[in-house]
Chain A
Amino acid sequence: MSSPDVQELLDTNSAVVPESLALTLPREKLEWMLGKMCETRYFEEKAEELYTRGLVHGTMHLSIGMEASPIGSIAALEPDDLIVNHHRGHGHTIAKGADITTMMGEFLGKEPGYCRGRGGSMHIVDIAHGNMGATGVVGSGIPIAVGVALALQMKHSAQVVLCFFGDGATNEGAFHESLNLASIWALPVVFICDNNHYGMSMSYRHSMNISKISVRAGAYGIPGFTVDGNNVLAVYQTVKECVDWARAGKGPSLVENLTYRWRGHSKSDRNLYRTPQEIQEWMQRCPIKRFKQLLRDSQIMSEQETETIDQRAKETIDRAAELAVQMPEPTPENMEDEVYAP
């Protein structure tokens, strides 16, 4: 990978988004982005509420405050492109077209849920929409995504796979082995790091001796970018370039979307490792508020229009939750029969 094209892409500072980008995108695309970000936010707020009401058996990993990263990234895909997800993946699942009620059903462990209540919110799979599933072992989805990309290449498919993981995953061996394999085989995969600052409680500033995770791409001879991950258009633009790059057969790339999780790692987290001020500062950079503001400032949507999209998302989630709560529970008979495929 020493073509001048690579160097050019490496030198491009994709984090700077022209103000006019919003003006050049079709309105439906912008509406879709806002709608999916709002659905993700309301889904997770509803998840918290259901948890507080004692309706949830397991744990959950909320991505409140991180919505621009999955939605901006997946906005750059064609409908038949694929994703491999991680444990904090509600936004990715929603953006990839999941049915919210079926998703909520899985969160509640119900039989009609995406995994029939066997996986829970950490393992939602939706192959019909190109969501190839989520692993709960940090970093372990990365080689799987590379395998998905290898299959696409071997089948001469034009599809691309987005591989999502967090900052913590980039210290796993699986990350490094996978980027190397994808690079030497020039596979159609875009590695997307949802850098939310913390691997459970450890800040990425302490877990690695570099300030940008994207520089790790250089070790594997692939392009790497760090993006304002709370700016949905910046994410979209960068990932779009990388998707086009992969689709053109030029191989993988790495995008680091710098963002922040407002909530704790999971329900047991008491936020002892960070200050309330830090959380407050990041809450000021809310990706949804920022996007709404941008749409209004660019006079693409009025406040009433953005709020209509917001309200519709809230209703979708409320309705899904009502239906999901009433879904039947799975029964424990014959579980052994499900372990192996016929």
Chain B
Amino acid sequence: MTETGGREVTFLEAVREAMVQEMRRDPTVFLMGEDIGIYGGAFGVSKGMLDEFGPERVRETPISEAGFTGVATGAALMGMRPIVEIMFLDFITLAMDALVNQAAKMRFMFGGNASIPLVCRAPSGSGTGAAAQHSQSLEAWFINAPGIKVVAPSSAYDAKGLLTTAIRDNNPVLFIEHKLLYRTKGAVPENSYTIPFGKAEVRRQGKDITIIAYSIMAQRALEAATRLAEEGIEAEVVDPRTLKPLDVETIVGSVAKTGRALIVHEAPVTGGFGGELTSAIVESHAFDYLDAPVRRLGGRNIPIPYNRTLERASVPQVEDIVETARALAREGK
């Protein structure tokens, strides 16, 4: 880790800092999206960037996700490095053709004659009372589409380093920013730095159970692990950080050590990334070390509801993780 000198910034500021530093470094980098100028973006991520870079590089678009995501793809095809801000991850459904059929396919389909250095940033997740169409976690769809990478950081430090890597990557990258993480603070160096894709972070060491969790769930898993420790259960928390490419080795190594695996994500369990993580574990040598079946804890198979109690109950909370991990840690003993 780079020395931070005690400097702390929010996740949101870390995202902005990565964009600002890359835009200063590389004139081909520019930001596109809705209300990103004077308004500063729906969540304020791009606040102040218009003043420094002007309207050409902080390019506000009409409400037309399919159009401007396709435009970003074309600009990337020409060697520009666009960052597209999709106001809510939910709205990426409008840009699926541009991302999945076009951007993700072009390199392979064109026989290696093109590359699309495009970053698509999108705020995800529930917890803000925004209901079913502004609260989703759609990472699994993109993980199943060859040609696009998927990143889901859980801390300010990772957000800055991984976004910097994403902007310098020569491929389309979906960069998922959980809304509830925006205001969380963490140690972040002022200087620019990168974090390689495909390297998981072991956030907490433990011997009794491995909890694999990303984005907001990595934070909740850490909180759960602290509570579990009070009960004498030592959980190891592995945060994959990038979902595609995925660091299977670190995950499998941890599970082989603890013999128990709990996977946590906010997206609905059915068809979620947890199934893929489960397969990665059971298809590996870690299978021989399992003392209990692999467990998945994910969102319920419902659209996210509006009411605070219902919303909270629809995705894993810290107490759910504690409860499931506790049961799993005792299973087979």
Which A residues lie at the B interface, using CB under 8 A? 84, 113-119, 123, 125, 127, 132-133, 135, 137, 140, 142-152, 154-155, 173-174, 177-178, 180-181, 184, 335, 338-342
Contact = CB atoms under 8 A, between A and B. Distances in A.
B120 to A, nearest CB: 13
A130 to B, nearest CB: 11
B78 A152 contact: yes
Interface string B62-78: 10101111111111111
A181 B101 contact: no
A123 B102 contact: no
B23 to A, nearest CB: 13
A113 B171 CA distance: 23
B76 A339 contact: no
A147 B71 contact: yes
Contact of B75 (A142, A151, A177): A151
Contacts of B56: 154
A87 to B, nearest CB: 12
A177 B66 contact: yes
Interface in B192-242: none
B290 interface: no
B97 A174 contact: yes
Contact of A113 (B75, B102, B111): B111
Given A137-B101, A338-B108, 12 more contacts: A135-B101, A144-B73, A144-B102, A147-B73, A149-B74, A150-B74, A150-B75, A180-B62, A184-B62, A341-B116, A341-B170, A342-B170
Contact of B98 (A133, A143, A152): A143
Contacts of B161: none
A147 B75 contact: yes
Nearest to A161: B74
Contacts of B107: 338-341
B61 interface: yes
B253 interface: no
B161 to A, nearest CB: 20
A341 B161 CA distance: 20
Contacts of B76: 147
Given A127-B114, A340-B171, A341-B107, A147 B97 contact: no
Interface residues of B, number: 42
Interface hub of A147, A154, A174, A339 (most chain B Cβ within 10 A) = A147
Contacts, number: 144
A178 B71 contact: yes
A147 B72 contact: yes
Contacts of B146: 339
Contacts of B171: 340-341
Nearest to A163: B74
12 contacts: A137-B97, A147-B76, A147-B78, A148-B78, A150-B74, A151-B75, A151-B77, A154-B80, A173-B66, A338-B112, A339-B146, A340-B171
Contacts of B75: 147-148, 150-151, 154
Contact of A140 (B80, B98, B116): B98
Given A144-B77, A146-B70, A341-B170, A114 B111 contact: yes
Interface string B105-129: 0111111111111000000000000
Contacts of B116: 341
Given A150-B75, A338-B107, A339-B147, A140 B97 contact: yes
B109 A119 contact: yes
Contact of A339 (B79, B98, B108): B108
B11 interface: no
A339 B97 CA distance: 18
Contacts of A150: 71, 74-75, 80
Contacts of B113: 114-115, 125, 127, 133
Interface in B244-302: none
Contacts of B117: 341
Interface hub of A144, A145, A146 (most chain B Cβ within 10 A) = A144
A150 B74 CA distance: 8
Nearest to A119: B109
Contacts of A137: 97, 101-102
B30 interface: yes
Contacts of A116: 111-112
A117 B72 CA distance: 27
